[in-house]
């Protein structure tokens, strides 16, 4: 069967992967209301397309933290990609580089920063969980710097792991032939089989629950890399992130895997954008499956978007070729959406190109 959109990869991944692995990638927290809402919320935003615009040339390029990329579609950090495919993060890194975009490597990757760097050139960010042992954190950050990573995406929504009931039922643990490569050689224990989720127990042992804004400042004393704060959903925290020296904000609800009944990220985006007042770029992570979704995020003020699950599902289905195809399909759909909305460059995408169900009724001026 020919694959014609991003969503079709999920069913193939479900067939191919062991249940424990598929469920780990696919599931959300508790009732999974936010998981569904991350997708459904996009359908409450409609277009106001402008017609008779010369769209024979369309430019999707943009810059993120000063780095030029081919399109505002980037790869979010997703853990343990070798559970999806033997090449794991290597394949994802090569696909991102070929597409001319940014890959974010998870702290909990099954390939190390050095291994990912060895795949060749590319703009890469490193996602960081802050462990209780700050020496480990400093070491990881130094290794990412040495491996040529260009920014740190600091995850701030995980003082504890969300309750993911599929992982509890499956007694989720990392398959025995895989390791969390960035922690190899550090005395951080193993992810064991437990009577609930092995990952939840591991996180409880390693991740620092006392993490606060002062640690965002501390991080800037140990690295000169720009810091993106990932996991912001409110105006208040957007302002605090900027005060703390963040170079950018990623609006994220952790793929709806942490606190259920938080809003979809596309619903939280505009509040955060308004609070940022253009001082730092704001990115959207969560629920993007179509080029139309990318356009909607940019119309609401995002500087770019990150995709997570589409990467692991396509990786499971077709390896590097699958991830390349996902990036190409989203690129093609986004370009078409721009053309049909009458936009030739990203700066031409405005709030006036969409109407949302939370907008006040419009008074359209007569020309």
Mean pLDDT of the chain: 94
pLDDT of 100 above 90: yes
- Per-residue pLDDT reduced to its tens digit, 103-147: 999 999 999 999 999 999 999 999 999 999 999 999 999 999 999
Find, among 308, 307, 309, 303, the residue nearest to 272 by Cα.
Answer: 303
- 285 annotated ligand-binding residue: yes
User: For a pLDDT cut of 90, what percent of the chain falls above it?
Assistant: 87
Alpha carbons 286 and 74: distance in angstroms, whole number: 12
61 three-state secondary structure: coil
- 48 annotated ligand-binding residue: no
**Which carries the bigger pLDDT value, residue 274 or residue 363?**
274
- Quickly list H helices, the chain: 8-16, 19-26, 33-40, 88-99, 113-117, 134-146, 165-170, 198-206, 213-222, 235-243, 265-276, 291-299, 309-341
Q: How confident is the model at residue 189 (pLDDT cuts 50, 70, 90)?
A: low
Which of the following is catalytic: 150, 254, 290, 331?
A: 254
- 120 annotated ligand-binding residue: no
- 197 annotated ligand-binding residue: no
Q: Is 254 a catalytic residue?
A: yes
- 265 annotated ligand-binding residue: no
Rounded mean pLDDT, 272-298 = 98
Q: What domains lie within the chain, and their CATH numbers?
A: 6-356 (3.20.20.70)
* β-bridge pairing 67-69 and 248-251: unpaired
């Amino acid at each position: 069967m020919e694959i014609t959109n991003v969503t079709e990869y999920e069913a193939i991944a479900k067939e191919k992967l062991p249940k424990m692995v598929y469920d780990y990638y696919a599931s959300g927290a508790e009732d999974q209301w936010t998981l569904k809402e991350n997708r459904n919320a996009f359908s409450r935003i409609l277009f106001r397309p402008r017609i008779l615009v010369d769209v024979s040339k369309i430019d999707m390029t943009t810059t993120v933290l000063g780095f030029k990329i081919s399109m505002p579609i980037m790869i979010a950090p997703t853990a343990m990609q070798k559970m999806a495919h033997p090449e794991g993060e290597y394949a994802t890194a090569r696909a991102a580089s070929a597409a001319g975009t940014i890959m974010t490597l998870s702290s909990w990757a099954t390939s190390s920063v050095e291994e990912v760097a060895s795949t060749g050139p590319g703009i890469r960010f490193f996602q960081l969980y802050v462990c209780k042992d700050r020496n480990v954190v400093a070491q990881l950050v130094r290794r990412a710097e040495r491996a040529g990573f260009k920014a740190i995406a600091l995850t701030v929504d995980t003082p504890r792991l969300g309750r993911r009931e599929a992982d509890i039922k499956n007694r989720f643990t990392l398959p025995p032939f895989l390791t969390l490569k960035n922690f190899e050689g550090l005395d951080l224990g193993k992810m064991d089989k437990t009577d609930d989720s092995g990952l939840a127990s591991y996180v409880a042992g390693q991740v620092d629950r006392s993490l606060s804004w002062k640690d965002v400042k501390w991080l800037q004393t140990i690295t000169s890399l720009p810091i993106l704060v990932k996991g912001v959903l409110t105006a208040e925290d957007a302002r605090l992130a900027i005060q703390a020296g963040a170079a950018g904000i990623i609006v994220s609800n952790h793929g709806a895997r942490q606190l259920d009944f938080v809003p979809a990220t596309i619903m939280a985006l505009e509040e955060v954008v308004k609070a940022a007042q253009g001082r730092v770029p704001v990115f959207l992570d969560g629920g993007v499956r179509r080029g139309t979704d990318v356009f909607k995020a940019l119309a609401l003020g995002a500087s770019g978007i990150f995709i997570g699950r589409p990467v692991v599902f396509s990786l499971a289905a077709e390896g590097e070729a699958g991830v390349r195809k996902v990036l190409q399909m989203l690129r093609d759909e986004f370009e078409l959406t721009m053309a049909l909305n009458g936009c030739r460059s990203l700066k031409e995408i405005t709030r006036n190109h969409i109407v949302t169900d939370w907008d006040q009724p419009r008074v359209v001026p007569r020309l």
